[in-house]
Amino acid sequence: MKTQLEQNANGKVATGFMLIKTIEKKIATNNSAYLNLVLSDKGGEISAKLWNYSPEKHGEYVTGDIIKVQGTIEEFKGSPQFRVERIRPKMGTDEVTMDDLVASAPFSSKDMLAEIRKTIEGFQNPNIAKLVSYLVEKAGDGFLINSAALRMHHAMRGGLIYHTYSMMKAAKALCNVYPFLNSDLVLGGIIIHDLGKCKEIQFADTGLAVEYTPKGNMTGHLVGGAIDIALAAKELNIDDECVTLLQHIVLSHHGIPEFGSPTPPMFPEAQVVSAIDKLDAELFEMLSAMSGVDVGSTTSKVWGLDRKLYRHSEDTEYRLNGED
């Protein structure tokens, strides 16, 4: 996806507010200093260089700063690179906030959480309702702002709850088509299926994922999620088969061992959660990749899907779900 800086460029010249994602001071072969940057806005990120950097002249910056930049968009090894010519920090009078610069879900996290809570209230099995509610509330703000992954699908502010919410809508639709499904298990399983990520991944204040935590590497969010269910059940004094069933849904939702599930889905509700999770993530990745090419064109191979995609002529406009 292209940065808004590039989208709004005037020819090769571009101006705008951006977030500093990474910053390094380096020495060029001609012994002059320069800055190596990755800058991002809502549209995406771009690598940037500020040649002949002078702290006195340009100011000093750290990761997370909002800046205003002006410069030229060039190409380096087939990728765009921004040559910064002017730079200054965001000033009090600038009407720009973090929310304007970080890509985020198309719905309000609060609205999505409200619908999730309402769904839980509708559960017929009180133990499933209690367990799922406890885990959601315990996850706190992380559930509202974290992204769903380090890279790949739903890697945006609020991506975790957005992915959960989107799956919940798909699950409700399928529970109508397949009435033999126990919807408490399907919906409850979906709501908590990725909560283990809040501990598995370290998130920045922007909600974007930074890296796996040691604990995350050593147990994984599937097992971590199952453990949290066990601790919650103990806390809530629930000693019912639904504890094991929810643990199984969480453990099996990646489908096969090679993708991290110690066990494949053993009952229809677990199968449905796993199928919706896979489909929702794949559709998101497909849209992201295809938004970068024209109708009638083929993308390059998409990491994570391991294939090229084609944007066909039946596509009038690719929109993220929920957008008008």
| Size, binding site for a copy of itself by CB under 8 A | 83
Asked if 301 interacts with a copy of itself (CB under 8 A), we say no
Applying CB under 8 A, which of residues 56, 121, 258, 294 lies at the interface with a copy of itself? 258
Applying CB under 8 A, which of residues 8, 60, 218, 303 lies at the interface with a copy of itself? 218
Complex with a copy of itself: residue 5 or 245, whichever CB lies closer:
245
Complex with a copy of itself: residue 68 or 172, whichever CB lies closer:
172
Complex with a copy of itself: residue 46 or 101, whichever CB lies closer:
46
Quick check: 181 and 175 in contact, CB under 8 A?
A: yes
Q: How far is CA 122 from CA 74, 111, 126, 129, 131, in A?
A: 55, 17, 10, 8, 14
Could you tell me the smallest distance in angstroms from the CB atom of residue 261 to a copy of itself?
A: 8
Six-digit token pair at 280?
A: 């929702």
Complex with a copy of itself: residue 93 or 180, whichever CB lies closer:
180
Could you tell me the smallest distance in angstroms from the CB atom of residue 148 to a copy of itself?
A: 17
Segment 126 to 185, residues that bind a copy of itself, using CB under 8 A: 166, 169-170, 173-174, 176-180, 182, 184-185
Could you tell me the smallest distance in angstroms from the CB atom of residue 29 to a copy of itself?
A: 7
Complex with a copy of itself: residue 113 or 287, whichever CB lies closer:
287
- What would the x/- binding string for a copy of itself be over residues 15 to 54, using CB under 8 A? ---------x-xxxx---------------------x---
Q: What is the DSSP string of 281-302?
A: HHHHHHHHHHTTS-TT-BPPPB
Q: What is the DSSP string of 178-212?
A: STTS-HHHHHHHHHHTTTTHHHHEEE-TTS-EEEE
Segment 68 to 127, residues that bind a copy of itself, using CB under 8 A: 74-75, 125
Q: What angle, rounded to 10 degrees, do the helices at 241-252 and 268-290 form? A: 30
Applying CB under 8 A, which of residues 96, 98, 204, 275 lies at the interface with a copy of itself? 275
Neighbours of 209 (CB within 10 A): 21
Applying CB under 8 A, which of residues 59, 100, 234, 303 lies at the interface with a copy of itself? 234
List for the chain the helix, strand, coil content (%; round to 5): 40, 20, 35
Applying CB under 8 A, which of residues 138, 267, 292, 293 lies at the interface with a copy of itself? 267
Neighbours of 2 (CB within 10 A): 16
* Dihedral over Cα of 196, 193, 322, 124: its sign: negative
Could you tell me the smallest distance in angstroms from the CB atom of residue 173 to a copy of itself?
A: 3
Could you tell me the smallest distance in angstroms from the CB atom of residue 101 to a copy of itself?
A: 25
How far from each other are the two terminal CA atoms of the chain, in whole angstroms?
19
Applying CB under 8 A, which of residues 59, 89, 140, 257 lies at the interface with a copy of itself? 257
Residues 6+ apart with CB under 8 A from 37: 20, 21, 22, 23, 24, 47, 48, 49, 50, 84
φ and ψ at residue 311, rounded to 5 degrees: -95, 105
40 pairs with which residues across the strands?
19, 45
